[in-house]
Amino acid sequence: MKKNILICSLIFLISACNIKEQSEIQKEVLASDEIISISADSLLSNFYKDSTAATEMYMDKVLSIHGTVGIFEQLDTIKFNRKDSLPYVVNWLLNRIESDINTSNVIFKSGASFKNKKPGYSLSATFPKEYRRELAGIKEESNITVKGKLEHISVVSSTQADSTKKAIAYILSLQGCVLDTLKHSLFHRD
C-alpha cells in the first residue's frame, strides 16, 4: 500500500510540475519552423521597456539569440548510485533529475545601458548534458548564436524588514538550447 501511494505521489508530482527533460525541449527547438531572431541586448531591452508585452511576444517561443558570453559553466553536481532493484518509476525520476541538473549554461553579457536599472534582467541558455561536445571552444567573450525555447522567467527577490518581498532581478531562461554559431575570430585575438 505504501509503495502504491509513493508511486502515485511521484506521478502526480511529475505531472503537476510538468517536468521536461532538456533533451525533450531541444527536440522541440530543432523541429520548430517559427523562430524569432533577436540579439540578447534587444531582448533584454524589450523586457525593460514593457515586460508584459515582451512576455506575450517571446514566452514559450523558439528564439535565436546572438550575443556575447558573460559566463559559461558546465555543472556535474549530481550522480546517483542507482540500483537495479529500484522500481522503474524511481529510476526514471532519478535519471530526469540528474539530466536536468547536470547541464551546460551560458549567461549572456548585457549591454552597459541595462546595468544601472533596477530590478535587472539577465539571460541564460541551458544546454542538455548530452550536448557537451558541441560546446567545445566556448569561453567568456565569445560571440555566439543560440537557439532555445524561452520557458522560464525567474524572480530573485529579497524579504524586507516589514515582510514584503522586493524583486531584485529577473532571469530569462532559454531551455533545450542548441548552438547555432560560434564566432571563431574571438579565439585568435590580434
Q: Which domain holds residue 61?
A: 2-187
pLDDT at 186: 39
pLDDT band at 79 (very low <50, low <70, confident <90, very high): low
- Percentage of the chain beyond pLDDT 90 is 20
Q: What is the pLDDT of residue 36?
A: 92
Find the mean pLDDT for residues 110-128. 73
Name which residue leads in pLDDT, 30 or 79. 30
- Tell me the pLDDT band of 152, cut-offs 50, 70 and 90: confident
Indicate the number of domains in the chain: 1
Torsion of CA 93, 96, 102, 103, to 10 degrees: -160
Find the mean pLDDT for residues 38-48.
92
Domain containing 114 — which CATH number? 2.40.50.140
pLDDT of 6 strictly over 60: no
CA separation, residue 159 to residues 162, 164, 166, 167 (Å): 8, 6, 6, 9
Residue 13 pLDDT exceeds 60: no
First to last CA, the chain: 69
Residue 123 φ then ψ, to 5° = -130, 125
Residue 37's beta-bridge partner residues?
64
Residue written as grid cell 502515485: 8
